[in-house]
Amino acid sequence: MSRARGVAMIGRRETLAAMVAAFGASAFAPLARAVAYKPDPVINTGPPAPVFTAAQRALVAALSERVMPTTDTPGAITAGVPAYIEHMLGDWAIDDERATIFGGLAAIDARSMADYRVPAVKATAAQQDALLTLAMNDKLPGATEFFPAFKQLVITGYFTSEVGITQEREYLPVPGEYDGAYPYAKVKRIFSA
């Protein structure tokens, strides 16, 4: 009696989910798909689904900071770029695209071990720059597509972040006016879109 009411109350999707889970890996594909089906589209606004191992995550952070370093304005790490990259790979990328990044990270690590006898994350900033330069110049087998993809991720993540939009660039939330002949010399910065 109470069990029947419980089932009725948890609704169709949960019931199905509970049942399909019981089949484990042998769940019939259409059933699994029905469970996965969400009537409303969802964009992940929470923390990223983990994609990297701890070591990969640390390397991504270190390399993104080399690409967009802290100078007179904050760099990639302060801007939250590493999490952005993980978010992109977890929620957007498909397998091939993830492989480009994973492969590149592995190649950089391997070369770092060979040249400096430490994993890339432990290499000095100058050594990391040298490794990235090799990747950029196509001199790192397995990492040829890595550099442009990684640079794009860093730049996009940075210039859509609060740091990028309001500190590195000049943001006008409500400009009010438009001037189509404004001297660059007055700001010496890029106005954020």
Partner 1 sequence: MAATDRFDAIVIGSGISGGWAAKELTEKGLRVLMVDRGRMVEHGEDYPFDGKPAYEIPARDKMPAALAKRDYFALNGWVSPSTQPFFINDRLNPYDYDAPNKFNWVRPSVVGGKSLTWGRWSFRWAPTDYEANKREGVGVDWPIRYDDVAPWYSYVEKYIGVSGGKENLDYLPDSEFMPPFPMNVAEKWLKGRLEGEFPGRKLINARLSNITEDKPEQNRTRCQKRSQCSHGCSFGAYFSTQAVTLPAARATGRLTLRSDTWVTNLEYDPAKKRVTGVRMVDAKTGRAEVVQARMVFLCASAMSSLHILLNSRPKDSERSWFHSNGALGSAVMDHIFRVGVQGEIPGMTELIEYGRRPGGVYVPRFRNLKTEELPFKRGYGYQGQAFRQPAMVDGFGADMKHGMREYGPWKFSMGAFGECLPYDDNRVMLNFNKQDRFGTPLLRFDVTFRDNEIKMMDDALEQGQLMLRRAGLVNVTGGRGKHVPGEAIHEMGGARMGRDPNTSVLNGWNQAHDAPNLFVTDGAQMASVSCVNPSLTFMAMTARAADHAIKQMKAGVI
Q: Tell me which residues touch partner 1 (CB under 8 A).
A: 39-45, 66-69, 71, 84, 87, 91-92, 94, 129, 132, 136, 151, 155-157, 160-162, 165-166, 168, 171-185, 187-193
80 or 109, CB closer to partner 1?
A: 80
Nearest approach in angstroms of CB 142 to partner 1 is: 19
Nearest approach in angstroms of CB 33 to partner 1 is: 12
Residue 151, C-beta contacts closer than 8 angstroms, at least 6 positions apart: 67
Give residue 28's identity as a one-letter amino acid code.
Answer: F
> 163, 78 in Cβ contact below 8 A?
yes
Nearest approach in angstroms of CB 141 to partner 1 is: 20
> 89, 111 in Cβ contact below 8 A?
no
24 or 39, CB closer to partner 1?
A: 39
82 or 157, CB closer to partner 1?
A: 157
**b/e sequence 134-161, b meaning 16+ C-beta within 10 Å:** bbbeeebeebebbbeebbebbbebbbeb
Give residue 168's identity as a one-letter amino acid code.
Answer: E
> 157, 151 in Cβ contact below 8 A?
no
114 or 172, CB closer to partner 1?
A: 172
Nearest approach in angstroms of CB 123 to partner 1 is: 15
